[in-house]
């Protein structure tokens, strides 16, 4: 379990660095995982060059979904929208540094789905965004 | 035969496995599906190894054997619930399909716009969605018996609803989340007085309690084999003979007909009228073996063991600061303990206790409206069966303390 619940996950769950809501913002999207009630909202500010200058997430759910959202926001600050569009499942798994089964993978990928639906300006998120 | 949990556990290969080296499985997820005894596995294997053939209509030796085995399984299942005759037991895929069968045949033939169906707030999605679909299609009205804070049905509200001339009352025999054992006989009696037909979702009650359809006077009873030591892919619908005979067929195809012409067909007699196509033969035989196994133990002994288990589990769980268990006291429920741990998502609880081999379920357990009622997205659920041990409850409790330490 030390493996699965690596210190960074529990630490980010208890002490998130990027929890909050940006108002005004340039990109705003939220969605949930109906299976477990996890919810993630993401707000970003983007400069004239299309680079993310600030980001926040809010929501509730398990340690995996919330800590991966916090790590994701940290990783996208300074990235361009085009770079975010290239991100996938592996980026999240690398950040968490753990292996996940199919059920928990959905928790881990919720924030990336929300982020990508937001940057693409889609009405809804989907699993296809993070494959 | 006296009840010996340690002896019967030897019949269950999975219970004796490790989930990873040095970590013994502690299976506390029997409400989702039960483990299978070797007797069930052998009955199915024996069919495939020796007697495999399609049933009915064949006259060769294997076809006769297979037909006999399939129909004997039906007789065993019928006896298990004390059905007056085996033709009143229809094999389906599972309890869900059994309920859908009633919704698609009896209800579509008999209900019209404005007719009332009474359900309860503690139903599994399988006893909600088929009626919601019917409501959308035909305009029938759905009303729900409320669940009280202590996880029981509100009988005053039920009486009031019954005054509105319901056509159907469909309810669970035992909640898969709260564990609440509903007073089914009394509810059926009241429904009949109000002129309604009754359906009991027995997916949890039939595996865990003695169930006698004649004593209950149930019109329909739905249940699944895999929740009572049998294989997946097979379940049953019991119905009163007059109802089953008057109902239109469900799926069309082979076996459900007497004669077929290019433009029309004549449906077969019950139960075959409702069993189109080649059924799950090996699974039916496994279902029969599961019922034999439960009967050799005795359902009173099964229920008593589970009562011991849930009494002990509730005692241990409520000791833990931050744990809240949902549902009624041990004397009103079966072996199901759904709980929350303050500040920790049920997924995290389930994941961490899995590391010491404890298999519990986390989520809304296909009862999302019930969780909404209690204002929670999900719970962690530990559930017990005839093979569960108090020592396994202790392991779960140890696991929860580890969760608290990690999240503390």
**Per-residue pLDDT tens digits for B103-149:** 999 999 999 999 999 999 999 999 999 999 999 999 999 999 999 99
The shortest C-alpha distance from A123 to chain B (Å) reads: 24
Inspect the interface and report whether the beta carbons of A5 and B351 lie closer than 8 Å: yes
Question: In this structure, are B343 and B240 located in the same domain?
Answer: no
DSSP letters of B248-299? PPSS-STTSEEEE-SS-EEEPPTTGGG--SS--HHHHHHHHHHHHHHHHH-H
**Domains held by chain A: number:** 1
Residues of A in contact with B373 (CB under 8 A): none
B404 to chain A: nearest residue by CA? Answer: A10
Residue B36 lies in a domain: no
- A61-65, A97-101, B343-347, B376-380: range with lowest mean pLDDT: A97-101
Q: Choose the closest CB to B377 out of A4, A37, A104.
A: A37
Among B348, B354, B362, B374, the residue to mutate for chain A (most A Cβ within 10 A):
B348
For residue B309, tell me if it sits in a domain. Answer: yes
DSSP per position, B86-150: GGGEEEESSHHHHHHHHIIIIIHHH--TT-EEEEETT--GGGTHHHHHHHHHH--EEEEEPBPTT
Summarize the confidence of residues B177-200 as an average pLDDT.
Answer: 98
* In a domain? residue A1: no
B-interface mutation test, from A12, A62, A66, A107, most B Cβ less than 10 A away? A62
Choose one of B296, B324, B340: the last residue of a domain. Answer: B296
The answer to whether residues B59 and B182 belong to one domain is yes
Domain range spanning residue B199?
A: 41-296
Q: Average per-residue pLDDT in chain B?
A: 96
- Percentage of chain B modeled with pLDDT above 70: 100
pLDDT (mean) for B58-76: 95
Among the listed ranges A111-120, B88-97, B201-210, B353-362, which one has the minimum average pLDDT value? A111-120
Looking at the domain assignment, is residue B108 inside a domain? Answer: yes
Task: Look at residue A1 and tell me whether its pLDDT is greater than 70.
Answer: no
pLDDT above 60 (res B277): yes
Q: Could you tell me if B363 and B346 are in contact, meaning their C-beta atoms sit under 8 angstroms apart?
A: yes
Per the structure, the complete domain to which residue A17 belongs is given by 7-120
Q: What is the pTM of this model?
A: 0.93
CA distance B234 to B363: 25
Domain CATH for B185: 3.40.640.10
Measured in whole angstroms, the distance separating CA B288 from the mean position of its chain's CA atoms is: 16
Query: Which residues of B have a CB under 8 Å from any CB of A?
Result: 344-348, 351-352, 355, 362-364, 377-378, 402, 406-407
Cβ contact A5–B352 (<8 Å): yes
In a domain, B154, yes or no: yes
A21 within some domain: yes
Given an 8 Å threshold on Cβ–Cβ distance, is B362 in contact with A36?
A: yes
Q: Is A64 on the interface with B (CB under 8 A)?
A: yes
Residues B26 and B59 in one domain: no
With residue A9 as reference, give the H or E element that holds it. Answer: helix A7-14
Q: Cβ(B225)–Cβ(B92) under 8 Å?
A: no
Q: How far is CA B369 from the centre of its chain?
A: 18
Instruction: Give the CATH number for residue A45.
Output: 3.90.1010.10
First-last CA distance in chain B? 47
Return d(Cα B103, Cα B250) in angstroms, integer: 10
- Residues B134 and B232 reside in one and the same domain: yes
Instruction: Determine whether B366 is an active site residue.
Output: yes
Confidence of residue A103 (pLDDT cuts 50, 70, 90): confident
Domain count, chain B: 2
Percent of chain A exceeding pLDDT 90 equals 59
Q: What is the tens place of the pLDDT at every residue in B391-406?
A: 999 999 999 999 999 9
Name the band, by pLDDT with cuts 50, 70 and 90, for residue B377. confident
Q: B276 and B347 in one domain?
A: no
For residues B191 and B326, state if they share a domain: no
- Examine the domain organization and report whether B241 and B196 are in the same domain: yes
Structural tokens at position A127 = 């699993």
Mean pLDDT along residues B294-320: 97
In a domain, B35, yes or no: no
* pLDDT, mean over chain A: 88
Q: CA of B329: how far to CAs of B12, B147, B182, in Å?
A: 30, 15, 13
Whether B216 and B282 map to the same domain: the answer is yes
Report which secondary-structure segment, H or E, holds B192: helix B184-193
- Residue B328 belongs to a domain with what CATH number? 3.90.1150.10
Residues B277 and B162 in one domain: yes
Please check whether residue B382 is in contact with residue B337, taking contact to mean a CB–CB distance below 8 angstroms. yes
Task: For strands B168-172 and B116-120, give the pairing.
Answer: parallel
Residues B303 and B289 in one domain: no
Residues B278 and B339 in one domain: no
pLDDT for A7-42, tens place per residue? 888 899 999 999 999 999 999 999 888 777 788 999
ipTM above 0.90, yes or no: no
Domain assignment present for residue A130? The answer is: no
Is residue B304 pLDDT above 70, yes or no?
Answer: yes
What's the pLDDT at A4? 55
Contact A35 B363 (CB under 8 A): yes
Contact between A125 and A54 (Cβ < 8 Å): no
Q: Are residues B52 and B89 in the same domain?
A: yes
Residue A124 pLDDT grade (very low, low, confident, very high; cuts 50, 70, 90): low
- Specify the pLDDT at position A15: 93
Q: Tell me the pLDDT band of B102, cut-offs 50, 70 and 90.
A: very high
A10 contacts B345? CB cut-off 8 A: no
The reply to whether B114 falls in a domain is: yes
Give the pLDDT of residue B1.
Answer: 54
A127 domain-assigned:
no
Give the best residue of B20, B29, B351 to mutate against chain A (max A CB count within 10 A).
B351
In the listed set B296, B315, B333, which residue is the last one of a domain according to the structure? B296
Instruction: Please tell me the predicted confidence (pLDDT) of residue B263.
Output: 93
């Amino acid at each position: 379990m030390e493996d699965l619940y690596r210190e960074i996950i529990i630490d980010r769950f208890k002490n998130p660095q990027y929890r909050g809501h940006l108002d005004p913002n340039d990109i705003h999207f939220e969605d949930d995982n109906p299976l477990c009630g996890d919810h993630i909202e993401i707000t970003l500010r983007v400069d004239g060059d299309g680079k993310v200058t600030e980001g926040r997430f809010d929501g509730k759910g398990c340690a995996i979904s919330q800590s991966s959202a916090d790590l994701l926001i940290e990783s996208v600050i300074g990235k361009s929208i085009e770079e975010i569009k290239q991100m996938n499942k592996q980026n999240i798994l690398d950040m968490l540094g753990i292996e996940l089964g199919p059920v928990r993978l959905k928790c881990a990928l919720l924030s990336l789905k929300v982020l990508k639906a937001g940057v693409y300006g889609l009405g809804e998120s989907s699993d296809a965004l993070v494959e | 035969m006296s009840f010996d949990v340690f002896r019967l556990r030897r019949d269950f290969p999975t219970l004796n496995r490790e989930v990873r080296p040095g970590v013994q499985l502690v299976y506390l997820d029997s409400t989702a599906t039960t483990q299978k005894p070797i007797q069930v596995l052998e009955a199915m294997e024996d069919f495939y190894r020796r007697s495999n053939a399609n049933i009915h209509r064949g006259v060769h030796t294997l076809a006769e054997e297979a037909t006999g085995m399939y129909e004997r399984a039906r007789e065993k299942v019928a006896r298990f619930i004390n059905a007056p005759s085996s033709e009143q037991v229809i094999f389906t895929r599972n309890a869900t399909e059994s309920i859908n069968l009633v919704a698609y045949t009896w209800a579509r033939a008999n209900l019209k716009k404005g007719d009332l169906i009474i359900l309860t707030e503690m139903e599994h999605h399988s006893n909600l969605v088929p009626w919601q679909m019917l409501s959308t299609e035909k305009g029938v009205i759905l009303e729900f018996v409320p669940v009280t804070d202590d996880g029981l049905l509100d009988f005053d509200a039920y009486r009031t609803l019954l005054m509105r001339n319901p056509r159907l009352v469909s309810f669970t025999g035992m909640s898969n989340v709260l564990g609440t054992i509903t007073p089914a006989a009394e509810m059926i009696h009241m429904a009949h007085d109000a002129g309604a037909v009754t359906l009991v979702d027995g997916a949890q009650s039939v595996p865990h309690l003695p169930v006698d359809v004649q004593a209950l006077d149930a019109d329909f009873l739905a249940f699944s084999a895999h929740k009572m030591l049998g294989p997946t892919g097979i379940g049953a619908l019991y119905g009163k003979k007059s109802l089953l005979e008057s109902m239109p067929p469900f799926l069309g195809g082979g076996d459900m007909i007497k004669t077929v012409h290019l433009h029309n067909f004549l449906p077969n007699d019950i139960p075959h009228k409702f069993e189109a196509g080649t059924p799950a033969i090996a699974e039916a035989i496994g279902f029969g073996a599961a019922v034999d196994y439960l009967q050799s133990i005795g359902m009173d002994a099964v229920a008593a063991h589970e009562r011991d288990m849930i009494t002990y589990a509730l005692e241990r769980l409520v000791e833990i600061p931050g744990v809240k268990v949902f549902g009624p006291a041990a004397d009103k429920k079966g072996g199901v303990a759904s709980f929350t741990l303050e500040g920790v998502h049920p997924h995290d609880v389930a994941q961490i206790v899995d590391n010491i081999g404890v298999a519990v379920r986390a989520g809304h357990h296909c009862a999302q409206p019930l969780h909404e009622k209690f204002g929670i997205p999900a719970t962690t659920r530990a559930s017990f069966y005839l093979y569960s041990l108090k020592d396994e409850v202790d392991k779960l409790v140890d696991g929860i303390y580890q969760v608290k330490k990690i999240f503390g």
